[in-house]
Amino acid sequence: MAGVAVSTTINGDNVEYLCQPDETLLDVLRDRLGLTGAKEGCGTGDCGACSIILDDRLVCSCLVLGAEAEGRRVETIEGMAHGDRLHPLQQKFLEHAALQCGICTPGFLMAAKDLLAKNPDPTEEEIRFGLAGNLCRCTGYDKIVRAVQDAANVMKGA
Amino acid sequence: MVEVTLWGSLGTAAGGKNKVDIEAKDIRELFRKLAEQYPGLEPWIDRGIAVSIDGVIYRDTWSKELPQGAEIFLLPRLAGG
Amino acid sequence: MRYIRPLSIEDASGLLAGSTGTAAILAGGSDLLVRMKGGFVEPDLIVDIKAIEGLSEIRETSEGFSIGAAVPCAVLGESKALKKAWPGVVEAANLIGSKQVQGRCTIVGNLCNASPAADSVPALVAAGAKAVVVGPGGRRTIAVEAVPTGPGKTSLAKGEIIEAILLDKRPPRSGDAYLRFIPRTEMDIAVVSAGVNLTLDEQGVVRVARVAVGAAAPTVLLVDEAAEVLIGSKLDEATLERLAKVCSGACRPIDDKRGTVEFRRKVAGVLAKRAATTAYARAGGK
Amino acid sequence: MNFDPRYLDRNFTSVGTRPIRPDGVDKVTGRARYGADFNMAGQLVGRVLRSPHAHATIRKIDTSKAEKLAGVKAVITAADLPDLTDGDAAMYDILDNCMARNKALYDGHAVAAVAAVDARTARQALKLIEVDYEVLPHVTDVDEAMKHSAPLINEATFTEGLEEKPVKPSNVTKRSQFGHGDVHQGFGHADFIVERSFKTEQTHQGYIEPHACVASVSSDGTADLWVCTQGHFVYRQHCAQLLGMEASKLRVTSSEIGGGFGGKTHVWAEPVALALSRKAGRPVKLVMTRDEVFRASGPTSATSIDIRIGARKDGTITAAEATLRYSSGPYAGTWAEIGAMTAFACYRLDNVKTVGYEVLVNRPKTAAYRAPSAPMAAFAVESAIDELAKEIGMDAVEFRIRNAAQEGTRSSYGPVYGPIGIGPTLEAVKNHPHMKAPLGKNQGRGMACGFWFNFGGQTCTDLNIGMDGSVSLAVGTVDVGGSRASLSLVAAEELGIAYEQVKAVVADTSSLGYNDMTDGSRGTFSSSMATISAARNAIKVLRERAAQMWDIPVDDVVWEKGHAIAKGEKHGNLGRLSLKEIATASGKTGGPIAGHSELVADGAGVSFATHICDIEVDPETGATRVLRYTVVQDAGKAVHPTYVEGQYQGGAAQGIGWALNEEYIYGKDGRLQNPGFLDYRIPVCSDLPMIDTQILEIPNPNHPYGVRGVGETSIVPPLAAIANAVSNAVGVRMTHIPMSPPRILAALEAEQAG
């Protein structure tokens, strides 16, 4: 099976890699590029733990082929903070204890970032439906929703 | 001498008794004497028995003393999540 | 295995027509990659159609709308004109999967996956949508309900690709709606669903109606008898009850992990009633 | 052990505050490493071949074709995991569950495994393994499995715990019984009796992180295992025993863990990964798919429960009886026993009897799931209690308050209670504004109580003080939900220093003595006790060093607020020495300063909770919506209140999922129909409201700070609270969990049909 040569942008950096035609972008990120922030919880798009942003669209990287990233812009959790300065969402997740085990956290942060980019002032219901593609089994979502509300307030003020 | 209460199934293994009197100063001695006097209990002790002393459950502290007059209750050793 | 990203629909069709093993079309991938992951399909050829010009666009023409095969469902929701004309179709498309899946999945993929529970299909059938099919024999336009022939099966021949979905321009006083039943609030496959499309006269009397029921038979059902119940009415209580009864009666559902025969039958009627009420209000009926 | 664990009332400085967790930044930046995030040079990919049959004899396995495939480095079957369990039945079951020996006992049971250079080759190799099965009749339903006509899962199983030794084998491995008094007489005094049967379906813990490990076995017999687990010391013991290794030569490192809830308390694939690595001579990474997680790991019991409760007109319960049947998968369990112990634990009963039956079925081996076995029993009991209150005409809360257990009550499982929180949680609920909030059409409010034991157990902790005065705390209990923050708070409290000066880590099995796993709500309870002990030992050293620096007797040095203070007038001119000052000088006063502790943290206090739930039911579809939810629970002492709230909320959410939609669905062929998050429906964000919490603090007399475990109890009441709410909303008593829309609609239609 011939590999596919891909040239793409990940978190602002130009990246080139060779992948198999049936290899998912999630596998490429984790196994070829060492970006293990995106997690595989299901591999079928049902849990959202592998969420990334692809050309300004939130997607499950387990449902994207590595080959499809050619010429596109990929954002992952590893690119969310600026240097040692956390994104307001990251900071609020910490302050509100919006994570327990933390396995779903990278996916939630990417989804919340996408949500607030499209809707800077969401209602609780909009947050809940906006994050419905991300499963969390530890928190009952309460503290996650509060963290996103709080981050939205901070980001509006900024 | 302490009075030891056995839970239902353990009582069956001890020949239908649900209370036994044992001369024991701590949990270790209690288990040793129980096994001597009621051989049917030995496999249960091997698998794990917890001891409740006045309502406090001890699973592993075999050195725990058994105070005179205390309520001693044997329980299955449980699994948790 | 090969991955190819052709630049024209003809090339894509040619690749598929000339393939020897299993060939798969990749648009959003939200069904294909799941099936690959589960080992249900191991394609020898994957044809990614997203680089084909025009396939990622929604075009508004004098006849209505043409939605390209590679347009993600999220984009449908962002099109104000489409949402205004066909709110039922858009809400159905926007119910497929999560936000993450919305960024990838397409209505053509939803149609060609040929699941009786596909969310967008009852709405498209009720809307009278058509599919533009390109293949080795050229281009043809067929009704969307002619595409799926059974669970996982379509009428498309080897080498054929759906290029776009066509929706008519709306006459005045028209409205559509789609409702599905799922146990949770998001993320589930429809247990049963209903799409209703209505056009009223100036008095608010239903003149044109199409009613479709999903997940109640091997393919989505277009229930003509239900449309007849609605035509000539102003959706009074008795009409709605008759509609529910007719829709329940039209169902030929199965028992499975998602629901029972009795449940699907009963709820199909309930959803048809509720969708009709919404469609009627959207058409300006009171 | 000269450590005194008794509770002493005190004012806290650090404990009870809410700082940011030490592992937080890594977890919000994607840097934290979980089971599948670790790699080793030259590592192979491991994959497991699983039985497609619910019950089948394995006649023959031919691996020759797979072995010949290029890139395959090892293929193993049960033959590569010889039985070294030496009569230890529980370990034998674990071994057989890791790799089927003679029979495949459920859909998903491992039968062979491969290690190959990449995932694609490994997948292909699995297809080349030929297994010759003789398919046997199967049984998956707990009641069906108890019938005499049911296919036998293990012909050597004779029911234990019967008065007379059985002569025929059975799928019932054990009968257990608890209680006191005379229920027959008790029912004779009852004016009202409620009698009902209930069923609950099997659920999965649903942790988002699949089981994952990297195993590396060297030819000299040493090995490393990186794994997501709730107890790396227990995994080490299991793996060493099953593979015939010396425990000390196997170093197990626990990765960050992406949820466990009981499902990561015993080994599944780790011995397989080690065996593959041993055979291949290279490291092997083995990660389960989600499908494998559902089919082959973790689920809780499916149950069938009969309840009978009688009460007098004045609301006093006179007798209570329960028969509980719990499935344990194809291996013996003690799940019904736990259900039988917990069922009536909330109440003060003169006459009570519970009987449990452990039942074998062709489903995956049952594993613990958060307060294992208690939620199902509570569902049945608390539903019947509500119904009984209604018959008597008493308010549901008042009825419970009247019959609640209290200090001095003989518990239904035997011992007499010390200070407990059931009464206070009920009083708090009675006075909670939630109970008075108005309800709309088709809406109902339900409440229910729950109980869990909580565990302690073996614990070992190291506290090392750096020369700069910072403190590193090495614990051996895996952090599943923020315990490193809690334990840092405890160390800071005891030493009298700032939280920020302490860094807690989970040490590997070669760096610390044995620790029991994080289960039974014991993580913070046990390790905080060990941390307090270690800190007190360190303080002893600090005082000695200060005494040296001052050249005075150590008995004249006391430790206060992070400082050594010379007591008595004769030392009046000596200033205080801070921890940092003593640490900086330590090289000249005897070397490093540390405190160590090893203990058995027994005396975990039992825990109670009461929940309130508002629900709306769509009478046309049976759809439900949780409108409002409140958890009231006793924490003993909340070390980090935010994470205590998190435990309450998380348990409630899992309980809500269980109550409404989660279930294992088996086809007639005995195969699992829904092994994925699409059709195994755990609650999503939009399914739930905010979950209000109220923490009560009734100190545990057997912990220096009064701490009780808090992790599990919160999953116990929701099933019943929701069932009671549905009953109050639309007037149907739901007796089958989950209360999925088809079940509710069917119940409503049956009710209308009369």
When pLDDT is averaged across residues D434-463 and rounded to a whole number, the result is 96
**For chain A, percent of residues with pLDDT exceeding 90:** 96
The owner of tokens 């707990």 is: D142
Same-domain status, C8 and C124: yes
Same-domain status, C91 and C219: no
Report pLDDT for B15.
82
When pLDDT is averaged across residues B72-80 and rounded to a whole number, the result is 82
Give the closest of D90, D371, D416 to B71, CB-based: D416
Residue that finishes a domain, picked among C149, C168, C187: C168
Which residues have a Cβ under 8 Å from the Cβ of C32 and sit 6 or more positions away? Answer: C24, C25, C26, C41, C43, C46, C109
CATH classification at residue C133: 3.30.465.10
Put simply, the answer to whether A60 touches C100 (Cβ < 8 Å) is yes
What span, in angstroms and rounded, lies between the C-alpha atoms of D524 and D648? 15
Return the CA Rg of chain D: 27
Report pLDDT for D707.
95
Judged by 3 or more CB pairs under 8 A, whether C touches B is no
What span, in angstroms and rounded, lies between the C-alpha atoms of D97 and D81? 12
Give the closest of D661, D673, D674 to C184, CB-based: D661
Tokens, residue D324: 């509980």
- Mean pLDDT computed over every residue of chain D: 96
Same-domain status, C96 and C31: yes
- Which domain range does residue C164 map to? 2-49+58-168
On whether the CB atoms of residues C266 and C157 are closer than 8 A, the answer is: no
User: Nearest-CA residue of chain B relative to D452?
Assistant: B80
Q: Which fold has domain A88-157?
A: DNA polymerase; domain 1 (1.10.150)
According to DSSP, the β-strands at D317-327 and D352-359 are parallel
Same-domain status, C162 and C179: no
Kindly state the helix (H) or strand (E) to which residue D64 belongs, with its residue range: helix D64-68
Judged by 3 or more CB pairs under 8 A, whether B touches A is no
Contacts of C among chains (3+ CB pairs under 8 A): A, D
Establish if C184 touches chain D: CB-CB under 8 angstroms.
yes
Rounded-to-5 percentages of helix, strand, coil across chain D: 30, 25, 45
When pLDDT is averaged across residues D734-747 and rounded to a whole number, the result is 97
Establish if A125 touches chain C: CB-CB under 8 angstroms.
no
Same-domain status, C145 and C213: no
Put simply, the answer to whether C187 touches A132 (Cβ < 8 Å) is yes
pLDDT band at A1 (very low <50, low <70, confident <90, very high): low
Selected residue of A18, A28, A59, A148 to mutate for chain C interface (largest C Cβ count, 10 A): A59
Establish if C74 touches chain A: CB-CB under 8 angstroms.
yes
Full set of structural domains in chain B with CATH? 2-76 (3.10.20.30)
**For chain D, percent of residues with pLDDT exceeding 90:** 94
pLDDT tens digit string along A91-102? Answer: 999 999 999 999
Residue D459 phi, psi dihedral angles, 5° rounding: -145, 140
Give A-chain residues touching D261 at CB under 8 angstroms.
137
User: Nearest-CA residue of chain C relative to A4?
Assistant: C3
Say which amino acid occupies C158: K
Put simply, the answer to whether A76 touches D30 (Cβ < 8 Å) is yes
Establish if B42 touches chain D: CB-CB under 8 angstroms.
no
Closest CA to C241 of C272, C213, C265, C217: C272
Q: Which of residues 426-485 of D touch A (CB under 8 A)?
A: 480-482
In chain C, the number of structural domains is: 2
Residue that finishes a domain, picked among C168, C192, C211: C168
Closest CA to D251 of D219, D275, D228, D223: D223
Put simply, the answer to whether C3 touches A114 (Cβ < 8 Å) is no
What span, in angstroms and rounded, lies between the C-alpha atoms of D515 and B22? 32
Whether the per-residue pLDDT at D743 is higher than 80: the answer is yes
What span, in angstroms and rounded, lies between the C-alpha atoms of D713 and D582? 43
Same-domain status, C88 and C181: no
Selected residue of C257, C265, C273 to mutate for chain D interface (largest D Cβ count, 10 A): C257
C-alpha distances out from residue D471 to D21, D531, D565, Å: 15, 12, 20
Whether the per-residue pLDDT at D694 is higher than 90: the answer is yes
Whether the per-residue pLDDT at A85 is higher than 50: the answer is yes
Report pLDDT for D1.
47
Full set of structural domains in chain D with CATH? 24-32+456-601 (3.30.365.10), 35-137+205-296 (3.90.1170.50), 429-450+605-754 (3.30.365.10)
Report pLDDT for B48.
83
Q: Which fold has domain A4-79?
A: Ubiquitin-like (UB roll) (3.10.20)
On whether the CB atoms of residues D295 and D269 are closer than 8 A, the answer is: no
When pLDDT is averaged across residues D202-217 and rounded to a whole number, the result is 98
Give the closest of A20, A67, A111 to C99, CB-based: A111
Same-domain status, C160 and C203: no
Tokens, residue D527: 């390790």
Closest CA to D651 of D17, D205, D23: D205
Give the closest of D30, D259, D676 to A137, CB-based: D259
In sequence order, what DSSP letters do the residues of D66-104 get, joined into one string? HHHSTTEEEEE-GGGS----TT-HHHHHHHHHHS-SSEE
User: Nearest-CA residue of chain B relative to D369?
Assistant: B81
Establish if D28 touches chain A: CB-CB under 8 angstroms.
yes
Residue D192 phi, psi dihedral angles, 5° rounding: -130, 140
When pLDDT is averaged across residues C198-205 and rounded to a whole number, the result is 97
Which of the pair, C44 or B69, is modelled with greater confidence?
Answer: C44
- Mean pLDDT computed over every residue of chain C: 97
pLDDT tens digit string along D477-527? Answer: 999 989 999 999 999 999 999 999 999 999 999 999 999 999 888 899 999
Angle of CA points C275, C95, C263, to nearest 5°:
55
Say which amino acid occupies D438: P
Whether the per-residue pLDDT at D256 is higher than 60: the answer is yes
Establish if A136 touches chain D: CB-CB under 8 angstroms.
yes
Report pLDDT for B1.
84
Establish if C36 touches chain D: CB-CB under 8 angstroms.
no
Same-domain status, C117 and C189: no
Put simply, the answer to whether A44 touches C29 (Cβ < 8 Å) is no
Closest CA to D654 of D254, D141, D300: D300
Which of the pair, C118 or D574, is modelled with greater confidence?
Answer: C118
Give the closest of A2, A57, A68 to C103, CB-based: A57
CATH classification at residue C276: 3.30.390.50
Establish if C40 touches chain A: CB-CB under 8 angstroms.
no
Which of the pair, D736 or B69, is modelled with greater confidence?
Answer: D736
Put simply, the answer to whether D32 touches A137 (Cβ < 8 Å) is no
Report pLDDT for A150.
98
Give A-chain residues touching C26 at CB under 8 angstroms.
65, 68
3-state secondary structure of D490: helix
Closest CA to D114 of D216, D213, D44, D218: D44
Which residues have a Cβ under 8 Å from the Cβ of A33 and sit 6 or more positions away? Answer: A10, A15, A17
Q: Which of residues 34-73 of A touch C (CB under 8 A)?
A: 43-46, 48, 51, 54, 57-60, 62-65, 67-68, 70
pLDDT tens digit string along C37-74? Answer: 999 999 999 999 999 999 999 999 999 999 999 999 99
Same-domain status, C129 and C183: no
Residue that finishes a domain, picked among C141, C168, C195: C168
According to DSSP, the β-strands at D192-200 and D303-311 are antiparallel
Establish if A142 touches chain D: CB-CB under 8 angstroms.
yes
Report pLDDT for D448.
98
Kindly state the helix (H) or strand (E) to which residue D625 belongs, with its residue range: strand D624-634
Strand boundaries in D453-520, DSSP class E: 457-465, 471-475, 502-506
When pLDDT is averaged across residues C187-215 and rounded to a whole number, the result is 97
Closest CA to D725 of D611, D632, D555: D611
Question: Domains of chain A: which residue ranges?
Answer: 4-79, 88-157
